[in-house]
A = this chain, B = another copy of it.
Amino acid sequence: MAEGSTLTEAPRVLRVALLGGGTVGSQVARILLDDAEALAARAGARLELVGIAVRNVDAPRDVELPRELYTTDAESLVASADLVIELMGGIEPARTHIIAALRRGASVVTGNKALLAQDGATLFDEADAHGAELNFEAAVAGAIPIIRPIRESLSGDRITRVLGIVNGTTNFILDAMDTTGAQFEDVLAEAQRLGYAEADPTADVEGLDAAAKAAILASLAFHTRVTLEDVRCEGITGVTASDIAAAQDAGMTIKLLAIAELVPAGAAGDGVSVRVHPTLLPAKHPLAAVRGAYNAVFVEAENAGALMFYGAGAGGAPTASAIMGDVVTTARRIIAGSPGRAGTTRTLPIVGLESVTTSYSIGLEVADEPGVLSRVAQVFADHGVSIETMRQKLEQKIGRGEVLPAAEEGAHGAGRAELRFVTHRASEAALAATVADIKNLDVVESVTSVLRVEGI
C-alpha cells in the first residue's frame, strides 16, 4: 500500500514573493502581514512576505505597507521565493516570471485570467514537469470557490454543462436595465459614474473578459484545452430596453452567460462548445436571481445534478480572499512535501455554434393585419424550426405587459404589431435561414431581436 509519511512538526518558514501592488496585491499583502499568526497555524508554516515587485516604488497605494517591501526587481524576488503570487496581470512580463518560478520548483498562485486563457497549457506543463503547483482560484468569479470544486470536488463526476455569470459589470448593467427599463447607453453611463464600469468598458461589455473565464472553466470542466480563440463571443451592446421588456412579459430575464457544454461531435465522440452571449433565462432559474455586480456559476454534472456557486465576483478584498485560499493550500502541500497534480488532459474537438442547438427568442415588427401570423409561422415550419410560444403586442394600443393571446383574433387597425416567438431547440443554421426568409416577407417590417434562451 501507499506509505504515509509522518508530517514534520518543526516550525517552517516559506518565503512568499508578491508581484504587483495594485488593489488586490495591497489587500493580499495586508492579510499576509496582519493575519500572520492565524495563517501560520492553518498553513503549517510561517508565510514570510519577502517583497512586493512594482513598476514604481514611490507610487501612492491604497494600503499603507512597510516601504522597504517594495522593489522594482521582480526577477531577483522570484529567484529567492518558495511561493510566488502573481498579480501583475497581462501577458508579459507575468508569463516570464511565472515560468521562471515554476522551473525553480517554486509554486505559483495567480489571478491572471488573460494569461491562463491564452497560454494556460504551457504553464501547467511547466508546473507538472518541475513538481510545482499552479493555482488560480481568483482568475474566475473573484471570491467564489469554483476552480477548486471543479478540479477536485467534481473530479469523480462527469460535468456536462457550465453556465456562468462571470462578469460583474455586465450583470450590473443588465440588472439595472431590468429594474429601471432604461436603455443600455444610459445605464452604462451610470455604471461608469458609480465605478462599476471602466472608462473604456469594451473588455466587459463586448464579453471579452467573460470569454477568457469561459475558456478557463471549459478547460477544467472537460479536462481539455480551450483557449480564448475557441470561444464564440457576443457582448451586451445590442441588448435593448425593448428586449428586456419583452423578456419580462414572458417571465424571463436577460443575462450575459459564459456557456461551456459537452456536445456530440459525430463519430469522434464528445466535443466542446464554448460561447458567451446574452441569454434569456426563466425568472425561476437560480441564475436569474443573481443581481447587481454579483457572479454565479451553475454547473450540471451527471451524478451531482445541478449545483450553483454564488458570491462577489470582483473587488480587492474578495479577490484577495481567493488568492489567500490558494496560498494557504499550496503552502500546506509544500510543507507536506509534494504539490498536487491536475490529472491528465485530453483534447476534445471544439464545436462551432452550427452544431449546437438552442432555443431562440425572435422579435418581429409586422403589419397589424389578418394572416400575418400564419405566413410567419409557415416560414418556421419550412425550416423545421418548431415554435414553443408566441406573444403579440399591438403597438401604441395596449401597455407593456399586456398581451393578446391569439394574433389572428380581435380587431385589426392600420398600425403595426410586435410578435415575439420562442422556438424549441434548433440549430443556428436553421435559425439563420428562418430569420433570413422572415425578413423577406412583405408583411414584416423588421426583425427587432434574435436572442438565445437557456434553462427552459
A residues whose Cβ falls under 8 Å from a Cβ of B = 1-7, 14-15, 27, 31, 35, 38-39, 41-44, 81-82, 104-107, 128-132, 137, 143-145, 148-149, 152-158, 223, 286, 289, 301-312, 315, 317-318, 320-329, 332-341, 343-344, 346
Contacts and interface: CB of A to CB of B under 8 A. Distances in A.
Contacts of A145: 145, 148-149, 152-154, 307
Contacts of A131: 4-7
Contacts of A339: 4, 336
B2 A334 contact: yes
A210 to B, nearest CB: 20
A152 B325 contact: yes
A443 to B, nearest CB: 42
A7 B38 CA distance: 31
Given A41-B343, A82-B2, A305-B318, A323 B156 contact: yes
Contact of A325 (B3, B157, B289): B157
A274 B361 CA distance: 48
Contacts of A305: 143, 311-312, 315, 317-318
Contacts of A346: 41
Contact of A318 (B15, B41, B105, B303): B303
The 10 closest A-B pairs by CB, nearest first: A156-B324, A4-B131, A145-B153, A4-B105, A143-B304, A303-B321, A307-B311, A304-B321, A145-B149, A155-B328
A148 B153 contact: yes
A104 to B, nearest CB: 7
Given A4-B131, A307-B144, A324-B303, A343 B337 contact: no
A42 B144 contact: no
Nearest to A344: B41
A181 to B, nearest CB: 20
A307 B149 contact: no
A310 B310 contact: yes
Contact of A343 (B155, B320, B332): B332
A321 B309 CA distance: 17
A227 to B, nearest CB: 21
A152 B148 contact: yes
22 contacts: A1-B15, A5-B131, A7-B338, A7-B341, A41-B223, A42-B223, A143-B305, A145-B152, A145-B154, A148-B148, A148-B149, A149-B149, A156-B321, A156-B326, A156-B328, A303-B320, A305-B315, A307-B312, A308-B308, A308-B309, A309-B309, A338-B338
